[in-house]
């Protein structure tokens, strides 16, 4: 029993330490910089103003990345769904409204950049799409932004960066519901 759990615990400890020590690259759009609402406490909001928590879709072909990102997003208040391909993400977006989609940039089949291009023209386009990759070259980040992504996060993820995204979404929702 306990002996079988130790390698998994050790792997998770290593992942947690790696996440805490990593640097993230983050780009904000001009629109987000214009919103100057005081930071909100952790509260629930939704697209339609009900009491449902904010929703996120995680799209990544690596199960460890999905597990880590899903864990962090849930711990800060998101409802999270995940898929492993761009094709699956496009199907999910047809059926559901998400506040934010986290897209692995490099996936087999339809990658994150092409998925973002297609999602950005959808009637169910989310408020934010975030490109995720360990490849943090300026050219990659620029390509993500050109495809309609509003943010870019380097891997491994930092929980603090994810919390900033949550807070930014709350500000955007508050602005849209109260300031227009």
Give per-residue pLDDT as tens, 125-170: 999 999 999 999 999 999 999 999 999 999 988 888 888 988 888 8
pTM exceeds 0.85 for this model: no
Closest among 148, 81, 128, 134 to 106, alpha carbons compared: 134
pLDDT digits (tens, 9 = 90+) for 13-50: 434 433 333 333 333 333 333 333 333 333 343 343 44
Give the contacts of 16 (CB within 8 A, at least 6 positions apart). Answer: none
* CA atoms within a 13 Å half-sphere pointing along the CA-CB vector of 163: 9
């Amino acid at each position: 029993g306990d002996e079988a759990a130790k390698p998994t615990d050790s792997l998770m400890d290593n992942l947690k330490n790696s996440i805490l020590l990593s640097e993230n690259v983050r780009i904000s759009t001009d629109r987000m910089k214009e919103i100057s609402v005081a930071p909100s406490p952790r509260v629930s909001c939704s697209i339609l103003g009900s009491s449902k928590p904010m929703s996120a879709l995680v799209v990544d072909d690596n199960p460890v990345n999905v597990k880590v990102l899903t864990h962090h997003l849930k711990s800060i208040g998101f409802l999270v769904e995940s898929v492993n391909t761009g094709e699956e993400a496009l199907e999910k977006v047809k059926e559901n409204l998400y506040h934010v989609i986290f897209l692995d940039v490099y996936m087999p089949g339809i990658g994150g950049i092409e998925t973002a291009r297609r999602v950005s023209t959808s009637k169910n386009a989310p408020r934010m799409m975030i490109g995720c990759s360990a490849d943090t070259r300026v050219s990659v980040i620029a390509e993500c932004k050109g495809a309609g992504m509003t943010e870019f996060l380097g891997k491994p993820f930092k929980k603090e960066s994810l919390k900033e995204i949550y807070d930014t979404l709350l500000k955007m929702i508050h602005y849209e519901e109260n300031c227009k």
